[in-house]
Structure 1
Protein backbone atom coordinates (compact mmCIF):
# COMPACT_ATOMS: atom_id res chain seq x y z
CA UNK A 1 0.00 0.00 0.00
CA UNK A 2 1.35 3.43 -0.97
CA UNK A 3 2.15 6.04 1.65
CA UNK A 4 -0.57 8.42 0.45
CA UNK A 5 -3.15 5.62 0.77
CA UNK A 6 -2.02 4.90 4.32
CA UNK A 7 -2.18 8.58 5.24
CA UNK A 8 -5.59 8.91 3.59
CA UNK A 9 -7.01 5.99 5.56
CA UNK A 10 -5.46 7.32 8.76
CA UNK A 11 -7.07 10.72 8.15
CA UNK A 12 -10.49 9.14 7.54
CA UNK A 13 -10.13 7.07 10.70
CA UNK A 14 -9.23 10.13 12.78
CA UNK A 15 -12.05 12.18 11.26
CA UNK A 16 -14.67 9.55 12.05
CA UNK A 17 -13.49 9.20 15.64
CA UNK A 18 -12.36 12.76 16.24
CA UNK A 19 -14.17 13.28 19.55
CA UNK A 20 -12.94 10.09 21.20
CA UNK A 21 -9.40 10.49 19.87
CA UNK A 22 -9.29 14.08 21.09
CA UNK A 23 -10.56 13.14 24.54
CA UNK A 24 -8.11 10.29 25.10
CA UNK A 25 -5.11 12.12 23.67
CA UNK A 26 -5.98 15.20 25.70
CA UNK A 27 -5.94 13.15 28.90
CA UNK A 28 -2.64 11.58 27.80
CA UNK A 29 -1.09 15.00 27.34
CA UNK A 30 -2.41 16.21 30.68
CA UNK A 31 -0.54 13.36 32.36
CA UNK A 32 2.54 14.02 30.22
CA UNK A 33 2.40 17.71 31.13
CA UNK A 34 2.06 16.90 34.83
CA UNK A 35 5.10 14.65 34.49
CA UNK A 36 7.04 17.54 32.95
CA UNK A 37 5.89 19.87 35.73
CA UNK A 38 7.20 17.32 38.21
CA UNK A 39 10.59 17.20 36.47
CA UNK A 40 10.76 20.98 36.33
CA UNK A 41 9.80 21.30 40.02
CA UNK A 42 6.75 23.37 39.12
CA UNK A 43 4.52 21.20 41.30
CA UNK A 44 5.18 19.60 44.67
CA UNK A 45 7.15 16.39 44.40
CA UNK A 46 4.72 13.51 44.12
CA UNK A 47 5.83 10.40 42.24
CA UNK A 48 2.22 9.54 41.45
CA UNK A 49 2.33 12.30 38.84
CA UNK A 50 5.23 10.58 37.07
CA UNK A 51 4.26 8.62 33.96
CA UNK A 52 7.11 6.24 34.83
CA UNK A 53 5.62 5.33 38.22
CA UNK A 54 4.03 1.89 38.48
CA UNK A 55 0.50 2.24 39.86
CA UNK A 56 0.78 6.00 39.45
CA UNK A 57 -2.03 8.13 38.06
CA UNK A 58 -0.92 7.85 34.42
CA UNK A 59 -0.25 4.12 34.72
CA UNK A 60 -3.69 3.56 36.20
CA UNK A 61 -5.19 5.43 33.24
CA UNK A 62 -3.19 3.13 30.96
CA UNK A 63 -4.56 0.09 32.80
CA UNK A 64 -8.09 1.35 32.19
CA UNK A 65 -7.46 1.61 28.45
CA UNK A 66 -5.95 -1.86 28.34
CA UNK A 67 -8.86 -3.28 30.31
CA UNK A 68 -11.27 -1.51 27.96
CA UNK A 69 -9.56 -2.98 24.90
CA UNK A 70 -9.57 -6.42 26.51
CA UNK A 71 -13.27 -6.18 27.34
CA UNK A 72 -14.23 -5.04 23.84
CA UNK A 73 -12.24 -7.85 22.23
CA UNK A 74 -13.80 -10.43 24.53
CA UNK A 75 -17.25 -9.14 23.63
CA UNK A 76 -16.40 -9.30 19.94
CA UNK A 77 -15.27 -12.90 20.44
CA UNK A 78 -18.52 -13.68 22.26
CA UNK A 79 -20.65 -12.17 19.49
CA UNK A 80 -18.65 -13.12 16.40
CA UNK A 81 -17.30 -16.51 17.55
CA UNK A 82 -14.00 -15.75 15.84
CA UNK A 83 -10.84 -17.08 17.49
CA UNK A 84 -8.80 -14.06 16.36
CA UNK A 85 -10.61 -11.78 18.82
CA UNK A 86 -9.84 -14.14 21.69
CA UNK A 87 -6.16 -14.24 20.74
CA UNK A 88 -5.96 -10.46 20.71
CA UNK A 89 -7.85 -10.34 24.01
CA UNK A 90 -5.29 -12.67 25.58
CA UNK A 91 -2.47 -10.47 24.28
CA UNK A 92 -3.98 -7.38 25.87
CA UNK A 93 -4.66 -9.32 29.05
CA UNK A 94 -0.96 -10.11 29.13
CA UNK A 95 -0.12 -6.44 28.58
CA UNK A 96 -2.41 -5.42 31.42
CA UNK A 97 -0.92 -7.98 33.80
CA UNK A 98 2.62 -7.20 32.71
CA UNK A 99 2.19 -3.46 33.19
CA UNK A 100 0.50 -3.78 36.57
CA UNK A 101 2.58 -6.64 38.00
CA UNK A 102 5.96 -5.95 36.33
CA UNK A 103 6.06 -9.51 35.01
CA UNK A 104 8.79 -9.08 32.40
CA UNK A 105 11.02 -7.18 34.83
CA UNK A 106 10.75 -9.91 37.47
CA UNK A 107 11.20 -12.84 35.12
CA UNK A 108 13.90 -11.00 33.20
CA UNK A 109 15.87 -10.77 36.42
CA UNK A 110 15.35 -14.48 37.15
CA UNK A 111 16.37 -15.46 33.62
CA UNK A 112 19.51 -13.35 33.78
CA UNK A 113 20.46 -14.92 37.09
CA UNK A 114 19.64 -18.47 35.96
CA UNK A 115 21.54 -18.14 32.67
CA UNK A 116 24.35 -16.17 34.31
CA UNK A 117 24.08 -13.43 31.70
CA UNK A 118 26.81 -10.81 31.85
CA UNK A 119 26.40 -7.07 31.19
CA UNK A 120 27.32 -5.89 27.71
CA UNK A 121 26.80 -2.84 25.47
CA UNK A 122 25.78 -0.82 28.55
CA UNK A 123 22.90 -3.24 29.09
CA UNK A 124 22.41 -4.91 32.45
CA UNK A 125 22.00 -8.70 32.74
CA UNK A 126 18.32 -8.24 33.57
CA UNK A 127 17.87 -6.24 30.35
CA UNK A 128 18.99 -9.25 28.34
CA UNK A 129 16.72 -11.41 30.47
CA UNK A 130 13.78 -9.15 29.68
CA UNK A 131 14.58 -9.31 25.96
CA UNK A 132 14.60 -13.11 26.11
CA UNK A 133 11.30 -13.06 27.96
CA UNK A 134 9.80 -10.70 25.38
CA UNK A 135 11.13 -12.82 22.52
CA UNK A 136 9.56 -15.96 23.95
CA UNK A 137 6.12 -14.43 24.35
CA UNK A 138 6.38 -12.55 21.06
CA UNK A 139 6.97 -15.89 19.33
CA UNK A 140 3.98 -17.49 21.07
CA UNK A 141 1.71 -14.57 20.29
CA UNK A 142 2.87 -14.38 16.67
CA UNK A 143 2.20 -18.08 16.09
CA UNK A 144 -1.22 -17.72 17.74
CA UNK A 145 -2.09 -14.69 15.62
CA UNK A 146 -1.05 -16.42 12.39
CA UNK A 147 -3.07 -19.53 13.26
CA UNK A 148 -6.17 -17.52 14.18
CA UNK A 149 -5.70 -15.18 11.21
CA UNK A 150 -5.85 -18.09 8.76
CA UNK A 151 -9.19 -19.14 10.26
CA UNK A 152 -10.63 -15.64 10.56
CA UNK A 153 -13.25 -14.05 8.33
CA UNK A 154 -12.57 -10.87 6.37
CA UNK A 155 -13.48 -8.61 9.29
CA UNK A 156 -11.23 -10.53 11.65
CA UNK A 157 -8.37 -10.26 9.19
CA UNK A 158 -8.98 -6.53 8.78
CA UNK A 159 -8.83 -5.77 12.49
CA UNK A 160 -5.76 -8.00 12.84
CA UNK A 161 -3.81 -6.19 10.14
CA UNK A 162 -4.39 -2.81 11.73
CA UNK A 163 -3.95 -4.01 15.30
CA UNK A 164 -0.70 -5.68 14.36
CA UNK A 165 0.63 -2.42 12.91
CA UNK A 166 -0.41 -0.47 16.00
CA UNK A 167 1.10 -3.18 18.19
CA UNK A 168 4.43 -2.86 16.38
CA UNK A 169 4.41 0.88 17.05
CA UNK A 170 3.64 0.17 20.70
CA UNK A 171 6.54 -2.29 20.83
CA UNK A 172 8.83 0.32 19.30
CA UNK A 173 8.21 2.65 22.24
CA UNK A 174 8.05 -0.07 24.88
CA UNK A 175 11.14 -2.02 23.80
CA UNK A 176 13.33 -0.03 21.41
CA UNK A 177 13.06 3.35 23.12
CA UNK A 178 13.36 1.59 26.48
CA UNK A 179 16.69 0.10 25.36
CA UNK A 180 17.89 3.50 24.16
CA UNK A 181 16.87 4.86 27.54
CA UNK A 182 19.17 2.34 29.21
CA UNK A 183 22.09 2.35 26.76
CA UNK A 184 22.43 6.08 26.10
CA UNK A 185 24.09 7.76 29.09
CA UNK A 186 22.41 11.14 28.63
CA UNK A 187 18.91 12.48 28.06
CA UNK A 188 17.41 9.93 30.45
CA UNK A 189 14.39 12.05 31.35
CA UNK A 190 13.66 12.91 27.73
CA UNK A 191 13.89 9.29 26.57
CA UNK A 192 11.71 8.13 29.45
CA UNK A 193 9.16 10.76 28.46
CA UNK A 194 9.21 9.60 24.83
CA UNK A 195 8.95 5.94 25.86
CA UNK A 196 6.09 6.17 28.33
CA UNK A 197 4.34 9.06 26.63
CA UNK A 198 4.52 7.26 23.30
CA UNK A 199 3.05 4.10 24.83
CA UNK A 200 0.16 6.09 26.29
CA UNK A 201 -0.70 7.79 23.00
CA UNK A 202 -0.45 4.59 20.95
CA UNK A 203 -2.64 2.73 23.46
CA UNK A 204 -5.23 5.47 23.10
CA UNK A 205 -5.27 4.97 19.33
CA UNK A 206 -5.60 1.21 19.82
CA UNK A 207 -8.56 1.75 22.14
CA UNK A 208 -10.22 4.09 19.65
CA UNK A 209 -9.69 1.64 16.79
CA UNK A 210 -11.06 -1.37 18.68
CA UNK A 211 -13.98 0.68 19.98
CA UNK A 212 -14.80 1.99 16.50
CA UNK A 213 -14.68 -1.54 15.11
CA UNK A 214 -16.88 -2.75 17.96
CA UNK A 215 -19.35 0.07 17.38
CA UNK A 216 -19.41 -0.42 13.60
CA UNK A 217 -20.33 -4.06 14.14
CA UNK A 218 -23.40 -2.86 16.07
CA UNK A 219 -22.82 -5.21 18.94
CA UNK A 220 -23.83 -2.72 21.59
Structure 2
Protein backbone atom coordinates (compact mmCIF):
# COMPACT_ATOMS: atom_id res chain seq x y z
CA UNK A 1 0.00 0.00 0.00
CA UNK A 2 2.80 2.42 0.93
CA UNK A 3 4.67 1.67 -2.30
CA UNK A 4 1.52 2.31 -4.35
CA UNK A 5 0.91 5.58 -2.51
CA UNK A 6 4.51 6.65 -2.98
CA UNK A 7 4.32 5.75 -6.66
CA UNK A 8 1.19 7.89 -7.06
CA UNK A 9 2.81 10.83 -5.28
CA UNK A 10 5.96 10.62 -7.39
CA UNK A 11 3.92 10.21 -10.58
CA UNK A 12 1.99 13.36 -9.65
CA UNK A 13 5.27 15.20 -9.01
CA UNK A 14 6.57 14.19 -12.43
CA UNK A 15 3.25 15.29 -13.98
CA UNK A 16 3.62 18.74 -12.44
CA UNK A 17 7.16 19.00 -13.80
CA UNK A 18 5.92 18.06 -17.27
CA UNK A 19 3.03 20.54 -17.03
CA UNK A 20 5.55 23.22 -16.09
CA UNK A 21 7.61 22.41 -19.19
CA UNK A 22 4.47 22.52 -21.35
CA UNK A 23 3.47 25.89 -19.87
CA UNK A 24 6.95 27.41 -20.31
CA UNK A 25 7.97 26.03 -23.69
CA UNK A 26 4.95 24.89 -25.71
CA UNK A 27 2.55 27.84 -25.64
CA UNK A 28 -0.35 25.37 -25.41
CA UNK A 29 -1.66 27.03 -22.24
CA UNK A 30 -1.32 30.41 -20.58
CA UNK A 31 -2.51 29.18 -17.18
CA UNK A 32 0.32 30.24 -14.84
CA UNK A 33 -0.94 27.83 -12.16
CA UNK A 34 0.88 25.11 -14.10
CA UNK A 35 4.21 26.80 -13.36
CA UNK A 36 6.34 25.29 -10.58
CA UNK A 37 7.29 28.83 -9.56
CA UNK A 38 3.71 30.09 -9.16
CA UNK A 39 2.75 30.94 -5.56
CA UNK A 40 -0.31 28.86 -4.67
CA UNK A 41 -0.12 27.18 -8.06
CA UNK A 42 -1.24 23.58 -8.50
CA UNK A 43 2.10 22.03 -7.56
CA UNK A 44 2.46 24.23 -4.47
CA UNK A 45 -1.03 23.33 -3.26
CA UNK A 46 -0.09 19.67 -3.67
CA UNK A 47 2.97 20.37 -1.55
CA UNK A 48 0.72 21.91 1.13
CA UNK A 49 -1.28 18.67 1.23
CA UNK A 50 1.86 16.61 1.83
CA UNK A 51 3.11 18.94 4.55
CA UNK A 52 -0.33 18.91 6.19
CA UNK A 53 -0.48 15.11 6.34
CA UNK A 54 3.11 14.86 7.56
CA UNK A 55 2.22 17.27 10.37
CA UNK A 56 -1.00 15.46 11.23
CA UNK A 57 0.41 11.92 11.16
CA UNK A 58 3.46 12.83 13.23
CA UNK A 59 1.17 14.62 15.67
CA UNK A 60 -0.97 11.48 16.03
CA UNK A 61 2.17 9.38 16.51
CA UNK A 62 3.43 11.75 19.21
CA UNK A 63 0.18 11.28 21.14
CA UNK A 64 -0.04 7.55 20.51
CA UNK A 65 3.58 6.87 21.46
CA UNK A 66 3.80 9.67 24.01
CA UNK A 67 6.88 10.85 22.16
CA UNK A 68 8.01 14.44 22.40
CA UNK A 69 10.47 13.73 19.58
CA UNK A 70 7.62 13.00 17.15
CA UNK A 71 5.89 16.15 18.41
CA UNK A 72 8.92 18.31 17.52
CA UNK A 73 8.98 16.81 14.03
CA UNK A 74 5.27 17.54 13.72
CA UNK A 75 5.88 21.17 14.68
CA UNK A 76 8.68 21.41 12.12
CA UNK A 77 6.46 20.30 9.24
CA UNK A 78 3.69 22.57 10.51
CA UNK A 79 6.15 25.46 10.32
CA UNK A 80 7.12 24.47 6.76
CA UNK A 81 3.43 24.41 5.82
CA UNK A 82 2.73 27.84 7.32
CA UNK A 83 5.98 29.26 5.94
CA UNK A 84 5.11 28.17 2.40
CA UNK A 85 1.53 29.41 2.76
CA UNK A 86 2.19 32.91 4.15
CA UNK A 87 5.90 33.32 3.26
CA UNK A 88 7.26 33.78 6.77
CA UNK A 89 10.95 33.65 5.88
CA UNK A 90 10.47 35.99 2.91
CA UNK A 91 8.65 38.60 5.03
CA UNK A 92 11.02 38.37 8.01
CA UNK A 93 14.01 38.21 5.68
CA UNK A 94 12.99 41.51 4.10
CA UNK A 95 12.66 43.14 7.54
CA UNK A 96 16.01 41.77 8.75
CA UNK A 97 17.85 42.85 5.59
CA UNK A 98 16.61 46.41 6.16
CA UNK A 99 17.20 46.38 9.93
CA UNK A 100 20.80 45.19 9.65
CA UNK A 101 21.54 46.93 6.32
CA UNK A 102 22.57 43.79 4.47
CA UNK A 103 24.36 44.38 1.18
CA UNK A 104 23.90 42.63 -2.14
CA UNK A 105 26.75 40.43 -3.36
CA UNK A 106 27.46 37.32 -5.45
CA UNK A 107 24.39 38.21 -7.56
CA UNK A 108 22.25 37.79 -4.44
CA UNK A 109 20.04 40.60 -3.18
CA UNK A 110 20.18 41.94 0.37
CA UNK A 111 16.76 40.35 1.02
CA UNK A 112 18.15 36.95 -0.01
CA UNK A 113 20.70 37.14 2.80
CA UNK A 114 17.89 38.12 5.16
CA UNK A 115 15.93 35.04 4.08
CA UNK A 116 19.01 32.86 4.58
CA UNK A 117 19.40 34.27 8.10
CA UNK A 118 15.78 33.46 8.98
CA UNK A 119 16.05 29.93 7.55
CA UNK A 120 19.33 29.36 9.42
CA UNK A 121 17.88 30.53 12.75
CA UNK A 122 14.69 28.48 12.39
CA UNK A 123 16.67 25.44 11.24
CA UNK A 124 19.07 25.78 14.18
CA UNK A 125 16.15 26.04 16.62
CA UNK A 126 14.55 22.83 15.37
CA UNK A 127 17.84 20.94 15.15
CA UNK A 128 18.62 21.83 18.78
CA UNK A 129 15.11 20.82 19.86
CA UNK A 130 15.42 17.53 17.95
CA UNK A 131 18.88 16.87 19.41
CA UNK A 132 17.63 17.42 22.97
CA UNK A 133 14.52 15.26 22.60
CA UNK A 134 16.53 12.66 20.65
CA UNK A 135 18.60 11.94 23.76
CA UNK A 136 15.40 11.39 25.74
CA UNK A 137 13.54 9.41 23.09
CA UNK A 138 12.92 5.69 22.67
CA UNK A 139 14.78 3.54 20.15
CA UNK A 140 12.20 3.69 17.31
CA UNK A 141 11.60 7.48 17.36
CA UNK A 142 15.37 7.97 17.41
CA UNK A 143 15.79 5.69 14.40
CA UNK A 144 12.96 7.49 12.60
CA UNK A 145 14.59 10.83 13.39
CA UNK A 146 17.81 9.77 11.70
CA UNK A 147 15.94 9.03 8.45
CA UNK A 148 13.86 12.22 8.71
CA UNK A 149 17.01 14.27 9.31
CA UNK A 150 18.54 12.95 6.08
CA UNK A 151 15.34 13.78 4.18
CA UNK A 152 15.16 17.20 5.83
CA UNK A 153 18.70 18.05 4.69
CA UNK A 154 17.76 16.90 1.18
CA UNK A 155 14.73 19.22 1.31
CA UNK A 156 16.94 22.08 2.56
CA UNK A 157 19.41 21.43 -0.26
CA UNK A 158 16.75 21.98 -2.91
CA UNK A 159 14.82 24.67 -1.03
CA UNK A 160 17.80 26.76 0.09
CA UNK A 161 21.03 25.88 -1.72
CA UNK A 162 19.54 25.35 -5.19
CA UNK A 163 17.18 28.28 -4.60
CA UNK A 164 20.16 30.59 -3.99
CA UNK A 165 21.91 29.22 -7.09
CA UNK A 166 18.70 29.85 -9.02
CA UNK A 167 18.72 33.49 -7.96
CA UNK A 168 22.43 33.85 -8.76
CA UNK A 169 21.87 32.57 -12.30
CA UNK A 170 18.67 34.43 -13.13
CA UNK A 171 18.36 35.25 -16.83
CA UNK A 172 21.10 32.76 -17.70
CA UNK A 173 20.84 29.55 -19.70
CA UNK A 174 20.91 27.62 -16.39
CA UNK A 175 17.75 29.27 -15.00
CA UNK A 176 15.17 26.87 -16.55
CA UNK A 177 17.15 23.84 -15.37
CA UNK A 178 17.61 25.23 -11.85
CA UNK A 179 13.86 25.95 -11.62
CA UNK A 180 13.07 22.30 -12.31
CA UNK A 181 15.82 21.04 -10.00
CA UNK A 182 14.76 23.35 -7.17
CA UNK A 183 10.98 23.01 -7.23
CA UNK A 184 10.88 19.50 -8.65
CA UNK A 185 13.42 18.34 -6.08
CA UNK A 186 11.34 19.77 -3.24
CA UNK A 187 8.23 18.02 -4.56
CA UNK A 188 9.96 14.64 -4.78
CA UNK A 189 11.63 14.84 -1.36
CA UNK A 190 8.38 15.91 0.34
CA UNK A 191 6.62 12.95 -1.30
CA UNK A 192 9.24 10.60 0.15
CA UNK A 193 8.78 12.19 3.58
CA UNK A 194 4.99 11.89 3.69
CA UNK A 195 5.13 8.30 2.44
CA UNK A 196 7.74 7.43 5.07
CA UNK A 197 5.62 8.99 7.81
CA UNK A 198 2.54 7.19 6.48
CA UNK A 199 4.39 3.86 6.65
CA UNK A 200 5.18 4.57 10.32
CA UNK A 201 1.50 5.16 11.03
CA UNK A 202 0.56 1.88 9.37
CA UNK A 203 3.19 -0.04 11.35
CA UNK A 204 1.98 1.59 14.54
CA UNK A 205 -1.62 0.60 13.76
CA UNK A 206 -0.61 -3.01 13.13
CA UNK A 207 1.24 -3.18 16.43
CA UNK A 208 -1.86 -1.94 18.28
CA UNK A 209 -4.11 -4.46 16.54
TM-score after normalising by structure 1: 0.90
Distance in 2 separating the partners of 1:212 and 1:97:
24
Aligned equivalent of 1:32, options 13, 17, 20: 17
Who is 2:82 aligned against?
Answer: 97
For residue 163 of structure 2, the aligned residue among 178, 182, 206 is 178
2:50 pairs with one of 52, 61, 65: 65
- How far apart in 1 are the matches of 2:116 and 2:46? 26
Q: How many correspondences in the alignment?
A: 205
2:198 is equivalent to residue 211 of structure 1: yes
User: In the alignment, is residue 123 of structure 1 matched against residue 101 of structure 2?
Assistant: no
SS of 2:26's equivalent in the other structure is coil
User: What secondary structure does 1:121 align onto?
Assistant: coil
Task: Note if contact 2:51-2:77 (Cα within 8 Å) is conserved in structure 1.
Answer: yes
TM-score normalised per structure 2: 0.95
1:106 is the counterpart of 2:91: yes
Match of residue 147 from structure 2: 162
CA contact (8 A) 2:54 2:77 kept: yes
* Structure 2 residue matching 1:217: 3-state secondary structure: helix
Give the Å deviation of 1:54: 1.1
Give, in whole Å, the separation in 2 of the partners of 1:188 and 1:107.
Answer: 26
3-state DSSP of counterpart to 1:81: coil
Q: Deviations over 1:112-142 (max 9, x none)?
A: 0111111011110000001110111111111
Offset, 1:46:
1.0
Q: What's the CA shift for 1:17? A: 3.5
Distance in 2, matches of 1:184 and 1:85, equals: 38
Task: Name stretches of at least 5 consecutive residues in structure 1 with no aligned partner.
Answer: 1-15
Structure 2 unaligned blocks of 5 or more: none
Q: CA deviation at 1:190?
A: 1.4
Partner of 1:77: 62
Spell out structure 1 runs of 4+ moving beyond 3 A. none
Root-mean-square deviation (Å): 1.3
1:199 aligns with 2:178: no
